[in-house]
Structure 1
Amino acid sequence: MAKNRYFYCLFVMNTLINILNFTPRELIDARFDGAQSSILVAVAVGTLFIYLFTRVIHKFPGQGLPEIFGSALPKLLASPLIFVYAVLWYMAGTLILLSFVDITLRFISPDTGPYAIMFGFLAVVCLCSRIDSLSLLYGLEVTLGITIPLILYTIVKAIINPDFSWDAVLEVMTHSLHAPDLNSIAAATFTFSGYINMAVFNRVFHGLKLKHLWILSLEGFLMLLITFFVPIGYHGTVGIERHVYTWFSTADSIRIEAFLIERMLYVFYFACITLSLVSAIIQWHVGKELLLSLLPSPSGKPKTKLLQELVILVLFASGALALMRLDQYNLNMLGVFLQHIRWYGEMLMIGLLFWCYWVVRGRRE
């Protein structure tokens, strides 16, 4: 069974992925219209969601979402819900892949065909998402051990750089009293959403017991502040509007003295692509497991299970390739829409888990 530290690994993975695309863009768009107050609301809401989720999932040791829903909800309700959540997890992983194809073309290799990059990503994600849940958690822990120092180094280099403008940060802070913005809250709460992967990974936990919740709250708060203020300090309160991937533009502005690699961009890209591929693997693994639970159980027939997994992964890959037709504007709109759906989906899942617990407890009594 997995140790409790792997729950923290899932949380940290999500907070670091948070700096790549949609969250910083939404917060920066609302920098004069409530982004700061939205961050405070998101920290409170995200912490509350983690507390409620871990309290209830602890009551179902070794069970994932399909087993919990199947034991307490009618099949006509449980199956559609599981299917919808599987699609949401699949879309979360797919958006990460689509974003990194665009990032690779813009910053690293503009002469490479986008489909060649996507096929490389899909080969890795499809093969690795078939790995069992516990092994994926081991791999995630190793990946974080490699990428966290690199990302922290990038953040420190950005903040202590003489080109960093504290005046721009202070200018934006004068707008802190604006009312929260719903889009910003939905985007910022994504920082705290790593816990939701326990919908499948709880199968390898023997009764999750979360301690020191304030550490998660503090980490999420600090990451949101860094995600929001560091690009503004580099590009200015107005100039930041011209950048789509604000953190990669920031990393591209930093130089490393007395090192083999001069541009910080390459170090930051290596750390982020490693973490992003692992995140996409975990998202597709969860989506795959949810869909497998809707199919007839192939107990004692490994070839049947393999065939089911291959069919699901082929559909996943085909959908990702089809979505490559979206331009940057439509991709961003889809990302914002899914941020809202994810947030509401988390509320619904927590409510349903409490309902399932009450139903199961009532049957025992």
Structure 2
Amino acid sequence: MAKSRYFYCLFLMNTLINIINFAPRELIDARFDGAQSSILVAVVTGTLFIYLFTKVINKFPGQGLPEIFGSALPKLLAAPLIFVYAVLWYMAGALILLSFVDITLRFISPDTGPYAILLGFLAVVCLCSRIDSLSLLYGLEVTLGITLPLILYTTVKAVINPDFSWDAVLQVMTHSLHAPDMNSIAAATFTFSGYINLAVFNRVFHGLKLKHIWILSLEGFLVLAICFFVPIGYHGTVGIERHVYTWFTTADSIRIEAFLIERMLYIFYFAYITLSLVSAIIQWHVGKELLLSLLPSTARKPKKKLRQEIVILCLFAAGTFALMRLDQYDLNMLGVFLLHIRWYGELLLILLLFWCYWVVRRRRA
């Protein structure tokens, strides 16, 4: 049985991964058109989603999405829903991997073939996705213990750097009264989406107890503010438009005096490649478990389950190789589209869980 602190690990993982994904780009693109007010709306909406989701899923201790849907919805409705959500989880992990292939080529090793980098990532992610849910939570906790201090160090180093322009930050803040932008809201709420992994990981939680939910709100707000304002402080209100991966460009602008590694980029890259691979592992683990629930039961046939897992993960890998054909523009468009679909998908999932709880409760009565 997992302890409640692992829920915070899932939330923190997703919050930190938000810094390098498509969300900062969307917020920065709307820096003069409602990004700041969108962040405030996202904090309120994200916190509300967390509260509602954890409240209702606690009514199904030790059960994942397949078990909940199977007990309350017709199979003809439950199976397509589970399949669609599995694809969304797969796409979330695939986009993280594809983004890091591009980051590696741009900042670390431009002479290495992209397919060779992706193959290495896929080998790690596919092998580790087969680990059981509780062990993955243990691994996530250890990973955060290693990477979080490095990320905090990079953030502090960035803010106190003499090259950081507070004037640029204040200039952008003068546009805070603009009406919220839907693209920015969809991007910013991704910061709070770590809770959604309970769709499978709730199997190892029995009586999840969340205390001081305001801490999650504060943490999400701070991360959004940092990932939005710090790159602007470094590159200016106009110059920031020229950068795709704003935080990696920012990290490459920071030097470390009196240390073996002079460029902050390498420390930042190490922290985020570790966190990104673990995030992709968790995303694909959830997607795999959802798809396995649609196949015939293998409770007493471990070899058959192994074959099913291999087939699913091979399909995941093949799909990711196919997505490598997309250029940077198409990949960004796909990422923005999925940010919107994810937001509506989370809302639908919360409503479905409340419906399932009402159906099960009525049956017991």
AA paired with 1:279? Answer: S
Alignment of 1:270-285 (within 5 A): 270-285=270-285
Unaligned stretches of 5+ residues in structure 1: none
AA paired with 1:342? Answer: R
AA paired with 1:21? Answer: N
Q: Give secondary structure in 2 for the equivalent of 1:244.
A: coil
Q: Deviations over 1:204-238 (max 9, x none)?
A: 00111111100000000000000100000000000
Alignment of 1:297-336 (within 5 A): 297-336=297-336
Q: Deviations over 1:69-120 (max 9, x none)?
A: 0000000000000000000000000000000000000000000000000000
Alignment of 1:112-151 (within 5 A): 112-151=112-151
Alignment of 1:153-192 (within 5 A): 153-192=153-192
Residues in 1 aligned to 2:90 and 2:306: alpha-carbon distance in whole angstroms: 19
Residue 298 of structure 1, CA deviation: 1.1
Residues in 1 aligned to 2:198 and 2:344: alpha-carbon distance in whole angstroms: 17
Residue 21 of structure 1, CA deviation: 2.4
Alignment of 1:234-253 (within 5 A): 234-253=234-253
Residues in 1 aligned to 2:229 and 2:298: alpha-carbon distance in whole angstroms: 51
Residues in 2 aligned to 1:49 and 1:255: alpha-carbon distance in whole angstroms: 40
Residue 299 of structure 1, CA deviation: 2.0
User: TM-score with structure 1 length normalisation?
Assistant: 1.00
In the other structure, the counterpart of 2:360 is 360
In the other structure, the counterpart of 1:84 is 84
AA paired with 2:252? Answer: D
In the other structure, the counterpart of 2:222 is 222
Alignment of 1:18-29 (within 5 A): 18-29=18-29
Residues in 2 aligned to 1:231 and 1:64: alpha-carbon distance in whole angstroms: 39
In the other structure, the counterpart of 1:14 is 14
Residues in 1 aligned to 2:213 and 2:305: alpha-carbon distance in whole angstroms: 38
Q: Deviations over 1:306-348 (max 9, x none)?
A: 0000000000000000000000000000000000000000000
Residues in 1 aligned to 2:174 and 2:113: alpha-carbon distance in whole angstroms: 44
Q: Deviations over 1:170-197 (max 9, x none)?
A: 0000000000000000000000000000
Unaligned stretches of 5+ residues in structure 2: none
Residues in 2 aligned to 1:240 and 1:6: alpha-carbon distance in whole angstroms: 36
Q: Deviations over 1:239-286 (max 9, x none)?
A: 000000000000000000000000000000000000000000000000
Q: CA RMSD in A?
A: 0.3
In the other structure, the counterpart of 1:205 is 205
* 1:261 counterpart = 2:261: yes
Residue 300 of structure 1, CA deviation: 1.1
Q: Give secondary structure in 1 for the equivalent of 2:3.
A: coil
Residues in 1 aligned to 2:340 and 2:207: alpha-carbon distance in whole angstroms: 30
User: TM-score with structure 2 length normalisation?
Assistant: 1.00
